[in-house]
């Protein structure tokens, strides 16, 4: 397990001593990409001021993105790929300067793969409110200081509004497909319902029609873990020295989230009751291997993410309700016109299959009638990032429609 490999996109594994040594330095106050850092493969588009659902205006918004392939003459081959909560625009490619982790969908984008750049213009923006180059809490406000605690509340609909403005800026008026998993799937669904005229096909992978009370509760304890860290300083910590930022709270939030992303079967089969070392966890100052796994990935996460962004994005996830102010879920889904792939995962305990069943039953363009595709996997919610063969086969079906 390489520390530069995105943990969401691979099966869980034991932590080695070399893994731990690779993360021995103190974490920065924020793992956000900042202006002046190596841009890597990022490109940037200014979309101007954005009017938010709340009535506030977010000034001078920038969207960073990566792309593969070329837009054809009539702009009919563009595919929008929308990442999950802690993902980013680096869908494919190695870890390198500007990109701390390797691509999270490398098995699906590339020559001969479902999203082949020889056929498609594949575009992956970093979502608004995140920390990898698009405007977010770690970005500079008009006064020259980081937004920090002043950054406004965002909804899923605000983020899709930003994506629409971004689409206009790069010359795409209608997407051949909008594909997203988890939080990206919420945004894909919002595209299908909110802008049906701009989407030919849509893939909603491991995402619900709304964030339930259970899901909001899970998010709330993660957010509280960050806010309870004294180093969070109310959200204004960007001048803190390495090791003096809210890394403990952010790491704990990530550890909680990983338990929702993976299935009990995977964790039990992978780790059982193994010890991490020769020291006993039964009063001998040792730890179980699964504890070490969570600790390592919590620590690793703080080096590529920002605590304020985590809070902003979790709040946006909580806002998700496709039927809000649209006459309810069924009426909203019925207004979509895109051909649609709705995919669930049998072991997903974060967004269980009943949510995808509701979407599939009421989306008129569902390519599987009134049911979702349900893939079998031991990897839980993260299977949409891991099960390339299964997910890729269904994406091919959608793109052939």
Catalytic residues: 182, 348, 381
Contacts of 281 (CB under 8 A, 6+ apart): 275, 287, 288, 291
200 CB-side CA count, 13 A: 16
Q: What is the CB neighbour count within 10 angstroms for residue 221?
A: 12
- State the DSSP code for 172: -
Is there a contact between 41 and 140 (Cβ–Cβ < 8 Å)? Answer: no
CA angle 32, 34, 40 (to 5 degrees): 95
| Contact criterion met (CB below 8 Å) for 97 and 38 | yes
The Cα–Cα gap between 52 and 49 comes to 10
Cβ-Cβ contacts under 8 Å for 188 (sequence gap 6 or more): 82, 178, 179, 180, 202, 203, 204, 205, 207
- Full DSSP string of 33-102: --BTB--TT-EEEEEEEEE-TTS-EEEEEEEEEEEES---TTS--EEEEE--TT--S--SS--BTTBSS-
Closest CA to 377 of 350, 348, 399: 348
Kind and range of the H or E run holding 341 = strand 339-345
**Cβ-contact 313, 127 below 8 angstroms:** yes
CA dihedral of residues 67, 41, 48, 307 (deg, nearest 10): 110
Q: What angle do CA 143, 149, 155 make, to 5 degrees?
A: 105
């Amino acid at each position: 397990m390489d520390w530069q490999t995105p943990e969401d996109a691979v099966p869980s594994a034991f932590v080695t001593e070399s893994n731990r040594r690779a993360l021995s330095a103190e974490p920065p106050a924020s793992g956000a990409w900042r202006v002046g850092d190596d841009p890597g493969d990022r490109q940037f588009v200014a979309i101007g001021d954005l009017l938010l659902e709340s009535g506030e205006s977010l000034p001078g918004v920038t969207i960073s993105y990566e792309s593969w392939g070329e837009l054809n003459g009539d702009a009919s081959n563009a595919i929008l790929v929308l990442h999950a909560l802690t993902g980013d625009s680096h869908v494919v490619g190695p870890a390198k300067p500007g990109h701390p982790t390797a691509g999270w969908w490398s098995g699906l984008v590339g020559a001969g793969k479902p999203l082949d750049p020889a056929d498609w213009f594949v575009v992956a923006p970093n979502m608004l409110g995140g920390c990898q180059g698009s405007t977010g809490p770690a970005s500079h406000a008009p006064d020259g200081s980081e937004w920090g605690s002043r950054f406004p509340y965002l909804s899923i609909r605000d983020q899709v509004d930003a994506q629409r403005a971004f689409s206009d800026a790069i010359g795409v008026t209608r997407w051949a497909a909008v594909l997203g998993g988890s939080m990206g799937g919420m945004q894909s669904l919002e595209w299908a319902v909110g802008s049906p005229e701009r989407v030919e096909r849509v893939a909603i992978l491991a995402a619900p029609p709304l964030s339930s009370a259970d899901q909001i509760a899970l998010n709330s304890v993660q957010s509280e873990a960050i806010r309870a860290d004294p180093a969070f300083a109310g959200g204004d910590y960007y001048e803190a020295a390495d090791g003096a930022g809210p890394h403990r709270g952010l790491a704990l939030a990530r550890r909680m989230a990983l338990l929702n992303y993976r299935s009990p079967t995977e964790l039990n089969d992978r780790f059982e009751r193994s010890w991490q070392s020769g020291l006993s966890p039964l009063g001998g100052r040792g730890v179980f291997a699964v504890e070490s796994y969570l600790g390592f990935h919590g620590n690793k996460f703080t080096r590529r993410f920002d605590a304020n962004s985590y809070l902003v994005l979790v709040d946006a996830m909580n806002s998700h309700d496709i039927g809000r102010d649209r006459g309810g879920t069924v009426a909203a889904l019925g207004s979509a016109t895109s051909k649609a792939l709705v995919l669930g995962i049998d072991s997903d305990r974060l967004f269980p299959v009943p949510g995808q069943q509701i979407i599939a039953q009421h989306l008129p363009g569902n390519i599987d009638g009134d049911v979702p595709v349900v893939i079998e996997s031991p990897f839980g919610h993260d299977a949409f990032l891991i099960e390339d063969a299964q997910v890729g086969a269904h994406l091919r079906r959608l793109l052939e429609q």
